[in-house]
Amino acid sequence: MKHRWLIPDLLVAACYAWLAAYLCARWPLSTLPVVMDNQLYFFAADRVADGIPPHISLVDHKHALSTMLSGWATAAGRAAGVDGMLAPRCLSVATACASVAGLWFAALKLSGRRVHAHLSALTMLAFGDFFFQAAAGYRPKVFMVVFIVAALLAYFHRRFVTAGAVSAAAFLCWQPAGVVLAGLGAGLLPGPRPHRTVLHLAAGALVAVLAYQSYFFFHGVMGEQLYQTYGMHADVRQHRMPPIGESIDFLIALGLAHRDLAGRLIGVSFLVGLALGGLWVVSRPLRALRMAREGSPWIGFSLAAAGAVAFTMIDHQAYPDMFVLHPFIALGVGWLLVVFCDHAAGSQGYARLIRVPLLGLCMVTMAFAVNDRRDLFPVGGETRADQEAVAKHMDLLAEEHGPVWAIGCVHLLAYLHRDNHSKFGMLLDPRVAEYAVRSGNGSFLPLEKGVPPGVILVARSDVRGVVPWLEDRYVLRNYPMFRSRGINVWIRRDPA
């Protein structure tokens, strides 16, 4: 009898995974261009496929587990004769599908109610931006989400070694996801046998981190990797905490200024749920303490969610920064709707007659929210073929003038499976720019290949503070194909 629902539950979860795949398929995987910061991860993953570790091909202060996974998928795709971009994008879509299916099981285990599982999965499906990034591929925070969901599922099943390992994997995709591991660990402290449970959680996390570090150790680049991911984070003097009103609006809009009404209602519901949860703890402290001592999974879930909200309030940039909250929003909003319908129906004999239509209305409303407009996430009319054409033009420039140093447009090199002339392929982050200047003793000139670059392509940043000699040694040429995409082409004045 214990497993009598297993097969139906698997079928339901598979249906939600199929819906997630459908949402990703609204964007053509084979022709979709590489957009936003995905261009950086695309290049680094392409280099991983050729055996060059992250942080060596491209300086980046973020962890690189997702880049490694995308790179290995690229290599596997090439070996199987599959398009080198299609394989990692299919992996990214698969992680999004697994996130939704896993969330359904997590909600079911957390509350024991299938209606909560349905509403949570539908809420997750309403995040159209998440599925756009899954279709685009390479995005670290897409991979982070599936690890967070897996961590919650393992935590709810009290498999703490597994929960520690996969929550650490989320951290190895994006450092701020470490608040999830910290929150889950804090939730175990007041529970039964805290020393054992916390030790198991920490042991799982340690295994994951050591496995990750072993990749860089055996490639002989662990020192560089440790400095980029931890050393460059040491100076936080330039960080500006956003105003509280801006942060609240960011949470309500789920990180997207032009978010539609259905999406904003989800954000508002989540914040209302957080406030109600806090009031419940304050009004019933003894009951909350008893739940904590009994090891209720709600405690760890709530602390992890609170940690993710706190970090997002003090540091956020664009809507992918909200992805760390998506599993918590989905589970929280789903439960809030269940509680609302239960209280609205009351406890009379006809309660079921009221509860069923109310829950049905909630599910239909969420289903409409899932039908997010694709035009919320435009790609500017550009296609992958357009970007490949620019990459071929860049190759002609390299043949004529010498090696290319691409800054802010390294994806063009990835289309040709080429190295960059310098590992400093993006200088927008002040920490990376400072590292570049220090690497050149105050006058940065990349000579990593033995000669100065013949061509410097600059996009998305003003590099004159890092390369003050640029206008003296290089001349700006007007190439409409590049200029229309915001790429400046500098040609060396004295080619070798």
Domain ranges of the chain: 6-31+62-375, 384-492
Phi, psi of 117 (to 5 degrees): -65, -40
For tokens 């602390």, the residue is 303
- Provide mean pLDDT across the span 91-110: 96
CA quadruple 344, 347, 348, 354: dihedral sign = positive
**Using an 8 Å Cβ cutoff, are 266 and 126 in contact?**
yes
Four-CA torsion 208, 212, 213, 217, nearest 10 degrees: 140
User: Is 80 exceeded by the pLDDT of residue 13?
Assistant: yes
| Residue 354 pLDDT grade (very low, low, confident, very high; cuts 50, 70, 90) | low
**Percent share of the chain, pLDDT over 70:** 86
**Using an 8 Å Cβ cutoff, are 40 and 320 in contact?**
no
| Residue 90 pLDDT grade (very low, low, confident, very high; cuts 50, 70, 90) | very high
**Percent share of the chain, pLDDT over 90:** 51
pTM: 0.92
Q: How many CA atoms lie within 13 A of 189 on its CB side?
A: 8
- Provide mean pLDDT across the span 250-270: 78
- CA 331 – CA 108 distance, rounded (Å): 10
**Using an 8 Å Cβ cutoff, are 45 and 141 in contact?**
no
| Residue 452 pLDDT grade (very low, low, confident, very high; cuts 50, 70, 90) | confident
- CA 59 – CA 459 distance, rounded (Å): 16
- Provide mean pLDDT across the span 212-237: 85
Strands laid side by side in the 455-459 sheet: 404-407, 455-459, 487-492, 474-477
- CA 121 – CA 137 distance, rounded (Å): 22
- Provide mean pLDDT across the span 43-47: 96
How does the average pLDDT of the chain come out, rounded?
Answer: 86
**Using an 8 Å Cβ cutoff, are 474 and 448 in contact?**
no
CA quadruple 37, 41, 47, 50: dihedral sign = negative
